Amino acid sequence: MRGADASAPARRRRRRAAAVVVTAGAVLAVPAVATPAQAAAPTVSAKGAFLLNQADGSRIYGKYADTKRQMASTTKIMTVRVVLSQKNLDLDRKVTVQQAYRDYVAREGASTADLKKGDKVTVRQLLYATMLPSGCDAAYALADTFGSGTTRSARVKSFIGKMNKKAGTLGLTNTRFDSFDGISTTGNNYTTPRDLAKLARSAMKYSTFRTVVKTRKTVRYAKTSTGGTRTYTWYNTNKLLGSYSGAVGIKTGTGTAAGPCLVFAATRGGRTVVGVVLNGSNRYTDAAKLLDYGFGSSTATTMKLRQLPAGAQQD
């Protein structure tokens, strides 16, 4: 009996020690799954990529983060960012669509919101028209409206100047704009994955921007030159929306020099991460992999990409 009594405390001590080992193992196992630093960095097709925390701007992932590249229509993030930073901005201000905007997209073979000459659209509608169908006509209208000068060319030049000034203010030292929509005439419309992610983070601080870029489809009405009402239906070219759980934006871009590009963001558990892929042959898969890395998840392997309806703009 004394032998049995003497061994009981020892057995209890061994059980407690075993429990401590199991508990410690369980605690240590969690960060290995949930913390990006503990997981292997993903391999992506993009020639350049970056991922950061929206809250503090800290880096999560980078691939050739500071190599300059063309950015195509992701340029429009800055176009909208400049408009939203205007003092006393009236989002309900009416803008009359000019034939020059339509002529421009026809000449360039550019993506369009199909704005009709003489229609009176609001600045808010132009933001949707710029970001969802990637309307170069809408971006042109914004540049023409918010630039300064007595001629359209002067106003556009002035607006592009504002884009470059804002880039300087935001510390985007490796970014340069020569267009309001990414259609570069000189080749001097470039950025880096890090700079573009920083720009997107800045834009996401505006509630209007966040509302626009997470919208998959919008139906808007405008007065025509004859007093009638026209209906515009715009679909978001960003297929990550509705495909990746928690996706909240941001902007596609495709160009001959730029290749397929995507600026993206997602929110899970109250935490938002923002990323960029430049010149990626599988940009949506790349984005999902990077988001998984940021969230410690494995969504990319099962993601089914949302398809756009026939006739919708592609970018």
297 in catalytic set: no
304 in catalytic set: no
Contacts for 308 with CB less than 8 Å, ≥ 6 apart: 235, 237, 239, 314
Distance (Å, rounded) from C-alpha 300 to C-alpha 42? 11
Contacts for 10 with CB less than 8 Å, ≥ 6 apart: none
89-98 burial code (b ≥16 CB/10 A, e <16): eeeeeebebb
Contact 249, 211 (CB under 8 A): no
Contact 262, 252 (CB under 8 A): yes
Paired tokens of 74: 């992701």
Contact 291, 299 (CB under 8 A): yes
179 closest CA partner among 128, 139, 149, 135: 139
Distance (Å, rounded) from C-alpha 95 to C-alpha 295? 42
Contact 287, 193 (CB under 8 A): no
Distance (Å, rounded) from C-alpha 108 to C-alpha 138? 14
Single out the catalytic residue among 7, 45, 68, 73. 73
Question: In the Cβ-directed half-sphere of 267, how many Cα atoms lie within 13 Å?
Answer: 10
Single out the catalytic residue among 63, 76, 251, 289. 76
Single out the catalytic residue among 63, 111, 134, 184. 134
134 in catalytic set: yes
Show which residues are catalytic: 73, 76, 134
